[in-house]
Amino acid sequence: MSFKGKVVLVTGASSGIGADVAHHFATKLGAKVAIVGRNENRLNNAAEEIKKCGGSTPLVITADVTKDAARIIDETIDEFGRLDVLINNAGYGDTTPILDADIEIFDRLMDTNVRSVINLTKLATPYLEKTNGNVINVSSMAGIIPYKEHFYSISKAALNQFTKVMANELGPRGIRINAINPGFIKTGAFDAAGWTEEQKQKLFDKIGKKNPLGRIGEVTDTTKLMAFLASDEAAFITGCLYVVDGGGMAANNFNQD
């Protein structure tokens, strides 16, 4: 599998799932990558890591996906002149019960996890059409199963449905769009959501032990799936949701308590 000469744009690429997939495309698959995030220092560190491991110099775009979608696409095209793969990975969770939550929490979550994805996909379409490119949305098992992550679950369900609806519009233009639905993956997302080290370890141990494959996910698990979906090996696959969860869904292993 090679992405030599191809351009991959990854949002939320300064940490976790996004950082790993950008690193893989750049260092193992020969792609040119544009990496997007809000924290310039962390993005620069991710770019340095890529260069250190032999990848070509990434385009670093310090931007907020909810505000800067047009600039993100423009800067990528200005730098590389093409776009082959858009990975809509930026996202976050919120565990406030709906009855306790201000509706603004819902608005913010939908803005990042859904609205920005729709906007970026629309803006990327003319360029993806030229390359027969594709889109991968990083959703969640919470988009299929009603997690007690409340609004988060609703946002990821919307993202899944967007993936399927949009496949109908993009297919005739030669563009594929799919979503991955990870179960629990070891990343900084839990820190960002305010989990303590102890809470995290307890959750990882509990979920990991109950998963049929005996562990929770690593970022390499999501990366390998995305590399496949972005490649020509998946040329006949669009509008699909791919669960990557160590069997967690099959074992009804999704409640945190």
Catalytic residues: 152
- Contacts for 1 with CB less than 8 Å, ≥ 6 apart: 29, 227, 231, 233
Q: Which of 87, 158, 175, 189 binds ligand NAI (CB under 6 A)?
A: 189
Strand partners of residue 86: 9, 135
Gap between the Cα atoms of 189 and 92, Å rounded: 7
User: What ranges make up the beta strands (E) of the chain?
Assistant: 7-11, 32-37, 59-62, 85-88, 134-138, 176-182, 241-244
Work out whether 90 is an interface residue with ligand NAI (CB under 6 A).
yes
Q: Which of 140, 163, 178, 211 binds ligand NAI (CB under 6 A)?
A: 140
Gap between the Cα atoms of 253 and 245, Å rounded: 10
Going residue by residue from 17 to 56, which x/- string records binding to ligand NAI, judged by CB under 6 A? Answer: xx------------------xx------------------
Contact present, 211 and 183 (Cβ < 8 Å): yes
Closest CA to 13 of 91, 84, 94: 91
Cβ closest to ligand NAI, residue 38 vs residue 215: 38
Q: Which of 3, 6, 16, 73 binds ligand NAI (CB under 6 A)?
A: 16
Going residue by residue from 196 to 235, which x/- string records binding to ligand NAI, judged by CB under 6 A? Answer: ----------------------------------------
Closest CA to 240 of 139, 172, 92, 146: 139
Work out whether 92 is an interface residue with ligand NAI (CB under 6 A).
yes
Q: Which of 127, 151, 184, 254 binds ligand NAI (CB under 6 A)?
A: 184
Q: Which residues bind ligand NAI (CB under 6 A)?
A: 11-12, 14-18, 37-38, 64-66, 89-93, 112, 138, 140, 182, 184-185, 187-189, 192
